[in-house]
Amino acid sequence: MLANNNLKVCWTLVRRDFRFHRVKNAVLALAVALVTGLYAFVFLLGGAVEDAFLLNYQYTYGSTSHILYSGLTEHQADLLAQHPNIKSSVRLSTIGTLSDPMMGQRLVKLAVTDQDYAETVLSIPTTGRLPQQPGEIALDEFTMGSLGILKEIGAPVTLQWTDTGGQTHTDEFTLCGWWASPTNFTEACAWITADTARTLVPDYDSENAANLTLGVTLHQPRDLEIQAAQILTDQGLPELSFTTNLSYNDARMDLADQQARPYYAPALLVLVCGFLMIFAIVQVTAEQDRAYFAGLKALGLSPRQLRRYLLEKGVTVTALGLLPGFLIGFLLNLAITPKVVVGMEQNPALYFLSWQPFALAAVCALGTTLLSYLLPTLRLARLTPAQTLRLNAPQPSHGSGAKNGMVTLPRLALRTLGRSKGRMALSVVILLAAVLLLTDIRLQYVSLQEDLYLSA
């Protein structure tokens, strides 16, 4: 007996189907785009909420680095940065701290400008720039408010600061930039140039000066306390001090996950509604498809080829709907996320944007589409061509004909609905589920808008 193992013909059949049924496949691609957009939006919003909680912990810690080693010499910093567990590192050279009585308990380091380190401590000027000329300084708004410094580029700045030896100084600077620093930052930096630092403390960059802070990012940010101590032991520097980022604490990560979980819940509704919507569109031409499959089965189409054909068709429809779906999800995220995640100067929809939610949305959309396509094959694969055609045979009706023998459009419509009661009921369920989904999501996001409560 000859076995039919030709799977290449399946792709030929898929291309012909797209050529001769353009409208149906266009509607299917649109449905997939809507489902993908909802998936992407749900995952983007959930990820933004979770990342916002973690960012709040980073604000409390004062850095996005996993570990901060302080009091290092240049040689010690080089030695630690070479450890294989460290993915990347940044350095901060400090010459002292601001000691004005108006600063209170807040620690502000007078440090040499370093673009990379400034990014990890969220201290990049949003107005003006980092210092480039001798005598220039950049500060955060909270420090400027405490010291009564005028928010104007070129404004004079008088600072009282204490060097690492405990000696107090008072010096004049010129303001070149500032940024908004969260009030829960317990530490901050006042940026000056290397030339200015050398003028204030001539030997700040000597080999024996232990004024460096090394911020490291690990390949695997788990058990930070253990890893930080192990790195020091491996490099022969067990006596050095360090701190670890609060946002990578297991308890904090679990708490952030719990806070974001309600925003991921609508994905289940998207799965149900997406499946019903795509499945219903596929069922619109179910009779025509069954007749087509019966002819192919009569020519020798095997159940394996039928599954392969529907699999490739589902993948193709999904591929056509992915990019429009990503755009829909991004626009929804851009419109709604800033109303859910508040208190940030940056747009949270852009600040927390990453590729992972889009990849997860693509996988879920593909799974939903394949489920809608492959579910009918569980029955069709076991049927002979004659049994497949018998499914399309009209059922006997009673009293459906007209007394005068004429067929009118209303009677034809009623007769069609009578033969498609299952699909009609399915369409009603889809609409109700879609309304439920949209209403649920709308109520969740409206409840988070504070202005509605204030205006009531």
Q: Residues 139, 249, 57, CA angle at the centre, nearest 5°? A: 30
Instruction: Report the pLDDT averaged over residues 339-361.
Output: 86
Statement: residue 247 has pLDDT above 70: yes
- 168 — pLDDT class (breaks 50, 70, 90): very high
Q: Token pair for residue 173?
A: 């600077």
- 430 — pLDDT class (breaks 50, 70, 90): low
Q: pLDDT (tens digit, 9 = 90+) per residue, 101-149?
A: 887 777 889 999 999 999 888 889 999 999 999 999 999 998 898 899 9
Asked whether 273 and 432 are in contact (CB, 8 A), the reply is no
- 401 — pLDDT class (breaks 50, 70, 90): very low
User: Could you tell me the end-to-end alpha-carbon distance of the chain, in angstroms, rounded to an integer?
Assistant: 78
User: What whole-number distance in Å separates Cα of residue 15 and Cα of residue 101?
Assistant: 76
pLDDT value for 400: 46
Instruction: Report the pLDDT averaged over residues 306-330.
Output: 89
pLDDT value for 62: 75
Instruction: Report the pLDDT averaged over residues 3-17.
Output: 75
Q: pLDDT (tens digit, 9 = 90+) per residue, 185-228?
A: 567 899 999 999 999 998 888 888 888 999 999 998 888 999 99
Residue bearing tokens 């979980």:
261
User: What whole-number distance in Å separates Cα of residue 79 and Cα of residue 238?
Assistant: 13
Statement: residue 151 has pLDDT above 70: yes
Q: Which residues of 170-183 are buried (b: 16+ CB within 10 A; e: fewer)?
A: ebebebbbbbebbe
Instruction: Report the pLDDT averaged over residues 51-72.
Output: 84
pLDDT value for 411: 61
What percent of the chain lies above the pLDDT cut of 70?
77
Residue 143: exposure state from Cβ atoms within 10 A (0-12, 13-18, ≥19): buried
pLDDT value for 174: 95
pLDDT value for 232: 94
Statement: residue 2 has pLDDT above 50: no
Q: pLDDT (tens digit, 9 = 90+) per residue, 369-387?
A: 888 877 766 666 666 666 6
User: What whole-number distance in Å separates Cα of residue 291 and Cα of residue 430?
Assistant: 26
Q: Token pair for residue 427?
A: 């369409």
Statement: residue 456 has pLDDT above 60: no
Statement: residue 234 has pLDDT above 90: yes
- pTM for the full model? 0.69
Lowest mean pLDDT among 23-27, 53-57, 351-355, 379-383: 379-383
User: What whole-number distance in Å separates Cα of residue 392 and Cα of residue 113?
Assistant: 77
According to DSSP H, which parts of 341-401 are helical?
348-351, 356-374, 377-380, 385-390
User: What's the whole-number average pLDDT of the chain?
Assistant: 81
Instruction: Report the pLDDT averaged over residues 348-369.
Output: 92
- 182 — pLDDT class (breaks 50, 70, 90): low
Statement: residue 30 has pLDDT above 50: yes
CA 285, 417, 395, 273 dihedral sign is positive
pLDDT value for 39: 92
pLDDT value for 402: 46
Side-chain-side CA neighbours of 217 within 13 Å: the count stands at: 12
User: What whole-number distance in Å separates Cα of residue 45 and Cα of residue 280?
Assistant: 28
The length of the chain, given as a count of residues = 456
Residue 388: which of 279, 280, 297 has the closest Cα? 297
User: What whole-number distance in Å separates Cα of residue 225 and Cα of residue 231?
Assistant: 10
Statement: residue 173 has pLDDT above 90: yes
What does residue 222 show for φ and ψ, rounded to 5 degrees? -125, 145
Strand partners, 266: none
Instruction: Report the pLDDT averaged over residues 21-45.
Output: 89
Lowest mean pLDDT among 68-77, 130-139, 344-353, 428-437: 428-437
Lowest mean pLDDT among 1-15, 90-104, 339-353, 399-413: 399-413
Q: pLDDT (tens digit, 9 = 90+) per residue, 69-105?
A: 999 999 999 999 999 999 999 999 999 999 888 877 7
Asked whether 44 and 50 are in contact (CB, 8 A), the reply is no
